[in-house]
Copies of this chain bind each other. A is one copy, B any other.
Amino acid sequence: MTIEDLLHSPGEWLKTGGNLGDVVVSSRIRLARNLNGFHFLTKASAAERRDIVRTLCEAINSAQFGIETFYIDVEKADPIDRQFLVERQLISRQHGEGEGSRGVAIGATEQISLMINEEDHLRMQVLRHGMDLDAAWNQIATIDAALEATVEFAFHEQYGYLTACPTNVGTGLRVSVMLHLPALKITNEIEKVLRAAKDMRLAVRGLYGEGTEALGDFFQVSNQVTLGRSEEEIVTDFKNNVIPSIVRYEQETRKALRNDRLTALDDKIWRAFGVLSNARAISSEEALFLLSHLRLGTVMERIKHIDLGVINDLFLFTQSAHLQKRCGKRLDGEQRSILRADYIRERLAKAQPSTN
């Protein structure tokens, strides 16, 4: 399997039909691990980095965790391919933009990706569409155990797993849930959520993780501290408290919009549809912003002729690297804006609305 095979599927991230799928886009768990007997990457020589890649690739190939993976050498990959992997949430921006020997082993369905030489020697990630932390946790625990049967991870009796950055020491766990919160954004109540998240020591980031802004009303909520709590405690807290309370808040705000500000809501939704269906050039930021409103319109059934799958495709395939890979060549910003608009118009035209 190659990176090209991924191009024509929506991957795991943007599949429809997940649990709490009106608000929760995807659930993700990652574990940070480092090999015993090697320096952390900040101190590792180029040769040592290569050794780490070789050791972990062998471990991944020989470990028994039940899913076949294919490996992409991120160091040697074309910049558009790297960006493509970032856009599919299979590697982090840091991993894509980094230097030196590094790579990622990806499961065919894109549910798992194992980054080698990101910030730590190994960052395992399991992704599930919708709210599904249990499945993600079970799968990543299986992978972790299988790998630990073949290699030795740096571990300290008292502190737990050792990591390059102290905030990851302990479980090395990060639980992230990607939420679509357009109603809270429209009403400005998102500020309350952000303040509450800060008080609860949660991080709220944008679509592409660390250092990215919340675009198109997508917010990635994750734990910040892993030391002193068990994996199960963190996952359970997310599953039972943190995420359900934000989801409920968004759902109630949507209801309030429907009851009290229906025309203003419809106006936003249909304007987004109107611009997306007619623009001849559109930036990725604007597309994301408008698609977000269109998504709200679809899940609230204010727009009935457009399938959520179409909107998810549009989210994915209007990203810069996706556009360039689809047309098979490098494009400048203006060309991308035109191609993006063409693609969106074409997809939306196939679902013509009844006149309303």
Contacts and interface: CB of A to CB of B under 8 A. Distances in A.
A355 interface: yes
Given A349-B355, A352-B355, A355-B349, A274 B267 contact: no
Interface of A: 263-264, 266-267, 270-271, 273-281, 338, 341, 345, 349, 352, 355-356
Given A273-B278, A275-B275, A352-B355, 13 more contacts: A263-B281, A264-B280, A267-B279, A267-B280, A270-B279, A271-B274, A271-B275, A271-B278, A271-B279, A274-B276, A274-B278, A345-B356, A349-B355
25 contacts: A263-B280, A263-B281, A264-B280, A264-B281, A267-B281, A267-B341, A270-B278, A270-B279, A270-B280, A271-B274, A271-B275, A271-B279, A273-B274, A273-B278, A274-B274, A274-B275, A274-B276, A274-B277, A274-B278, A274-B279, A275-B275, A277-B278, A345-B356, A349-B355, A352-B355
Tallying the copies of this chain within the complex gives 2
Contacts of A267: 279-281, 341
Contacts of A270: 278-280
Given A275-B274, A278-B273, A279-B271, A263 B338 contact: yes
